[in-house]
């Protein structure tokens, strides 16, 4: 166990902790948006809306959902980089 190994493990663990902490917010908001969208679709089908999917257009929720997916991808990549650093820490001699 060299200082390089310990440094890589610490950096990897820090990146994973940061990534997981930052993933929670966008994931919760994305799930909330999806639940609200499903509820709205269920209500529209019950009410008998005359609008089709193509007539709806892009809503603010669609834009926010796209932004949340981008944040999930970014912080998922940070978690992946942390895993890689931990793996490299075990591989380095």
List, for residues 35-70, the tens digit of each pLDDT value: 988 888 888 777 776 666 666 677 788 888 899 999
Number of folded domains that form the chain: 1
Whether 4 and 92 have beta carbons less than 8 Å apart is answered as yes
For range 20-30, the mean pLDDT:
93
Q: What is the pTM of this model?
A: 0.76
Mean pLDDT, the chain, as a whole number? 88
Dihedral pair phi/psi, residue 21, rounded to 5°: -65, -40
Kindly list the distances between the CA atom of residue 76 and the CA atoms of 3, 26, 38, 44, 86, in Å, as whole numbers in the listed order.
27, 11, 25, 34, 15
Q: How far apart are CA 64 and CA 37, in angstroms?
A: 12
Structural domain range at position 39 = 3-50+58-91
């Amino acid at each position: 166990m060299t200082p390089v190994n310990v440094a890589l493990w610490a950096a990897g663990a820090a990146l994973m902790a940061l990534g997981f902490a930052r993933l929670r917010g966008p994931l919760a908001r994305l799930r909330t948006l999806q639940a609200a969208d499903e509820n709205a679709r269920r209500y529209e089908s019950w009410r008998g809306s005359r609008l089709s999917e193509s007539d709806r257009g892009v809503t603010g929720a669609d834009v926010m959902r796209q932004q949340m997916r981008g944040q999930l991808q970014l912080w998922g990549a940070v978690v992946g980089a942390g895993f890689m650093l931990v793996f490299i820490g075990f591989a380095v001699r």
